[in-house]
């Protein structure tokens, strides 16, 4: 990762006004991280929190054979590494999906910031609750839904309304979707093809558009 000293526009972080965010970043090392760079490896013993100012990252688990399960995808206004508030190895790995600008804050500075800005403590608790709910949701889907159901649920969860249509804002390859749903790329490819042929989804500028609600079963 390279140090970046250029001034930068700041995204909106939940629970942080611009003055609070700038106060926090005064203690950060700003880095520009190239695409496909591992920022954190599962099991690392580190004491930093990372604030995403631009770009996208994926949080994932992998095994010795290289099989991945993607836990989350984050972008500007998100942060990760806050679980290091409790000592222990990193619970997952993080890799950039595109060139990203990240503010790296030492845990001691982050703790001091939390003491100075108690309102952000509440937002941090809410974020952790949302994360637990999302993980519970993910485990339930893996256990109870077939691959088709997991693909449809993932597309619906990722989609955002734009100009009256539901669009998955990030470009996702078939392999990326397969990593999220815990299935093979070939199976995901067949499901996406059937959804396109059936008129349920389309592709515009390499992004998936949900044209109408897919059926509950394939």
Higher pLDDT, 8 or 167: 167
> Which of 55, 63, 62 lies closest to 80 in space, CA to CA?
55
- 185 exposure class (CB count in 10 Å sphere: 0-12, 13-18, 19+): middle
Question: Does a structural domain hold residue 168?
Answer: yes
Cα torsion 33, 126, 86, 180: sign? negative
In a domain? residue 154: yes
Q: How far apart are CA 186 and CA 199, in angstroms?
A: 20
**Is there a domain that residue 115 lies in?**
yes
* 122 and 181 share one domain: no
The CATH number linked to 129 is: 2.60.120.10
The domain of 109 spans 2-142
Rounded to an integer, the average pLDDT of 9-32 is 90
Is residue 17 domain-shared with residue 75, that is, in the same domain? Answer: yes
Specify whether 134 is located in the same domain as 40: yes
Q: What is the mean pLDDT of residues 194-200?
A: 95
Q: Are residues 83 and 158 in the same domain?
A: no
pLDDT for res 57: 95
Rg (CA), the chain: 19
* 153 in the same domain as 129: no
Question: What number is the average pLDDT over the span 126-136?
Answer: 87
Domain final residue, candidates 123, 142, 161:
142
Look at residues 113, 142, 171 and tell me which one is the last residue of a structural domain.
Answer: 142
pLDDT for residue 91:
86
Domain boundary among 142, 161, 195: 142
Residues 128, 184: one domain?
no
Q: Give the per-residue pLDDT at 134.
A: 83
What per-residue confidence (pLDDT) applies to 8? Answer: 59
Over residues 42-89, the pLDDT tens digits come to 988 888 999 999 999 999 998 877 788 888 889 999 999 998 888 888
> What is the SS3 assignment for 157?
helix
Residue 108 has pLDDT above 80, yes or no: yes
> Any idea what the CATH number is for the domain that residue 206 is in?
1.10.10.10
pLDDT at 160: 92
Residues 195, 135 share a domain? no
Regarding whether 129 and 199 lie in a shared domain, the answer is no
Residue 216 located in a structural domain = no
Q: Mean per-residue pLDDT for 87-109?
A: 92
In a domain, 217, yes or no: no
Residue 7: band (very low, low, confident or very high) from pLDDT cuts 50, 70, 90: low
Shared-domain flag, residues 125 and 195: no
Instruction: Provide the pLDDT for residue 170.
Output: 85
Residue 61 near residue 42, CB atoms below 8 Å: yes
Q: How high is the mean pLDDT of the chain?
A: 89
Task: Give the Cα-Cα-Cα angle 138, 189, 69 (nearest 5 degrees).
Answer: 30
């Amino acid at each position: 990762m390279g140090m970046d000293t250029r001034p930068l526009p700041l995204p909106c972080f939940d629970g942080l006004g611009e003055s609070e965010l700038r106060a926090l970043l005064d203690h950060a090392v700003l880095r520009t991280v190239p695409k496909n760079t591992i920022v954190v490896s599962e099991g690392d013993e580190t004491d930093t929190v990372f604030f995403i100012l631009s770009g996208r990252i994926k949080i994932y688990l992998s095994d010795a054979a290289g099989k991945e399960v993607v836990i989350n995808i984050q972008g500007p206004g998100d942060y990760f590494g806050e679980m290091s508030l409790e000592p222990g190895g990193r619970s997952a790995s993080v890799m950039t999906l595109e060139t990203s600008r990240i503010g790296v804050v030492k845990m001691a500075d982050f703790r001091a910031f939390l003491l100075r800005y108690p309102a952000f403590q509440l937002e941090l608790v809410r974020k952790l609750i949302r994360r637990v709910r999302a993980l519970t949701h993910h485990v339930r889907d893996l256990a109870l839904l077939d691959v088709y159901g997991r693909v449809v649920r993932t597309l619906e969860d990722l989609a955002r309304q734009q100009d009256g249509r539901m669009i998955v804002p990030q470009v996702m390859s078939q392999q990326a979707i397969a990593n999220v749903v815990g299935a093979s790329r070939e199976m995901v490819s067949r499901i996406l093809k059937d959804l396109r042929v059936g008129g349920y989804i389309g592709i515009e500028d390499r992004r998936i558009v949900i044209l109408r609600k897919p059926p509950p079963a394939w």
